[in-house]
Structure 1
Amino acid sequence: MFWVLFLLAAWAGVLVSCARLLRAATRAAEPAPGSASSHHHAELSLYEAAYLAGGPMRVADLTLLSMQRERRLLLAHTGWATIVDPIGRDPHERSVLGAFGPDGQSPVPALRYTVAEDDAVRDLADRLGEAGLALSEGVRDGIDEGIRAVQGATLLVLAMAAASLAVPPEETSATIVLVWFLLPLILSLSCLGIARFDGHLHSSWASPAGQRLLIALDEEGGEEESLTAVAVRGVRAVGDPGLRAALGYGNRGRIPGQRDQ
């Protein structure tokens, strides 16, 4: 019955990690101090919707696409951007223009990261947090750490099961041993599945109040390729494959060379 010790270790890891993830999820579901209930979805700006749906990088994508559609910026499928109109109409656009070099060209990934890390995005996040619509950084980190803990516990269950099978069981078949280890494995995988399901349908940046506004905005949104659709659903709502390719350089971490232009 030495394998029972391995089973207890597996159960301990799963229960502790699942409790950690549950505690983080409960904290995220708690109403944040603010006036979220009075913030109607019709009042959400596109930048606010973009941040709640996808965070700073979504705000960057929305800014670039908005400027491109107004012919004030050219985004090439090669991953380079060119200034057409050097006048920014809001702080996010001004952060884009400030990232260009003297030749008026810049790699799209550099622009995206500049906009995402600009003070304008931080101010936007602070306003949404004060309104109770956005999760704080601590809450987001807690959820991410909880998910990683459950993932680690899943690997622990598999390792303990393998160790149990390596030790010849006394009066217990290998099938019975695996069945017992299947129980904590199902629990850990179920927690991961629920976390992935919630993260797919809802934003990890928005509080429950913010998620409700996003759902309502998405249901009442315009055409599939509108800026509202891009703000809520991301670059996948863009129909032009060239624009998706331009923004895809940043998503893949690629910095195009000058000769690509």
Structure 2
Amino acid sequence: MWHTTHLTVLTVLLIAAGLSTVVTYVAARRRSAPADLPGTGIPLLDAAFLAGGPGRVVDTVLVRMHQEGRVIVSRSGLVTVTSNTAYDEVEAALLVAAGDLRQRDLPGLRRAVMTSDAVQRIGDRLAAHGLMLDPALLRRARSARRLLWLVVLAIPVSTVVGSILAAGRP
């Protein structure tokens, strides 16, 4: 009796987790047709995001500001802001991340700007235009896959436990 109930519950859980995983992955991989884009291409920072994510956006801004003489990047990895002029939101986020001293180590500065709202808005805008996958859906898909593996691993464990409990009865 217990084995039949046990197997039925695990089968239902396995089917539900499998369906959830498939539906979530299909939704995460679905891309809408790109829309509302200018005919001559996309802005530089949007292209940087598509080419390498938030880190590439920060690197692009740093290179642009360095070429214009608005930041200095030392060999030791210290970034010094020499001008408080920001031409876009990401540059403004970089100035804020540099702090009052107008200096910060490169890894810390990159991390702070990469997670800024300005850079995240670029990714959200690209996802809304259908040029990249929605990160929230991808996170849900990974969670669904973990749930599926958990259920699959629970089957042999519960089978062993059920066998031990059944063997203990007269």
1:82 matched to 2:79: yes
Instruction: Give ranges in structure 2 of 5+ residues lacking alignment.
Output: none
**2 CA distance for matches of 1:158 and 1:49?**
48
Identify if the C-alpha distance between structure 1 residues 163 and 43 changes in structure 2 by more than 3 Å, giving closer, same or farther.
Answer: farther
Give yes or no for contact 1:48–1:124 (8 Å, CA) kept in 2.
yes
CA deviation string 1:96-125 (max 9, x = no partner): 122113333224454234323334224313
Q: Give the structure 2 partner of residue 131 of structure 1.
A: 129
**1 CA distance for matches of 2:66 and 2:160?**
56
Q: Give the structure 2 partner of residue 155 of structure 1.
A: 153
Aligned Cα root-mean-square deviation (Å): 3.8
Between 1 and 2, higher relative CO (CA 8 Å, sep ≥ 6) is seen in 1
Give yes or no for contact 1:68–1:74 (8 Å, CA) kept in 2.
no
Number of residue pairs the alignment of both structures matches: 164
1:166 matched to 2:160: no
| Paired residue type of 2:73 | L
Identify if the C-alpha distance between structure 1 residues 155 and 92 changes in structure 2 by more than 3 Å, giving closer, same or farther.
Answer: same
Q: Give the structure 2 partner of residue 66 of structure 1.
A: 63
Q: What SS class does the counterpart of residue 94 from structure 2 fall into?
A: helix
Q: Give the structure 2 partner of residue 101 of structure 1.
A: 99
Q: Give the structure 2 partner of residue 8 of structure 1.
A: 8
Q: Give 1:15 shift.
A: 1.6
Matched-pair identity in %: 23
Q: What SS class does the counterpart of residue 98 from structure 2 fall into?
A: coil
Give yes or no for contact 2:79–2:103 (8 Å, CA) kept in 1.
yes
Q: Give 1:25 shift.
A: 1.6
Q: Give the structure 2 partner of residue 251 of structure 1.
A: none
CA deviation string 1:218-254 (max 9, x = no partner): xxxxxxxxxxxxxxxxxxxxxxxxxxxxxxxxxxxxx
**1 CA distance for matches of 2:20 and 2:30?**
16
**2 CA distance for matches of 1:102 and 1:95?**
13
Give yes or no for contact 2:81–2:95 (8 Å, CA) kept in 1.
no
Give yes or no for contact 1:7–1:160 (8 Å, CA) kept in 2.
no
**2 CA distance for matches of 1:139 and 1:151?**
19
CA deviation string 1:152-189 (max 9, x = no partner): 223322422332443456xxxxxxxxxxxxxxxxxxxx
CA deviation string 1:107-151 (max 9, x = no partner): 445423432333422431343133211334542343233123223
Q: Give the structure 2 partner of residue 172 of structure 1.
A: none
Instruction: Give ranges in structure 1 of 5+ residues lacking alignment.
Output: 170-261
**2 CA distance for matches of 1:10 and 1:83?**
59
1:115 matched to 2:107: no
| Paired residue type of 1:155 | L
Identify if the C-alpha distance between structure 1 residues 90 and 12 changes in structure 2 by more than 3 Å, giving closer, same or farther.
Answer: same
Q: Give 1:54 shift.
A: 5.8
Give yes or no for contact 2:94–2:113 (8 Å, CA) kept in 1.
yes
Q: Give 1:22 shift.
A: 0.9
Q: Give the structure 2 partner of residue 28 of structure 1.
A: 28
**1 CA distance for matches of 2:10 and 2:52?**
35
**1 CA distance for matches of 2:38 and 2:148?**
35
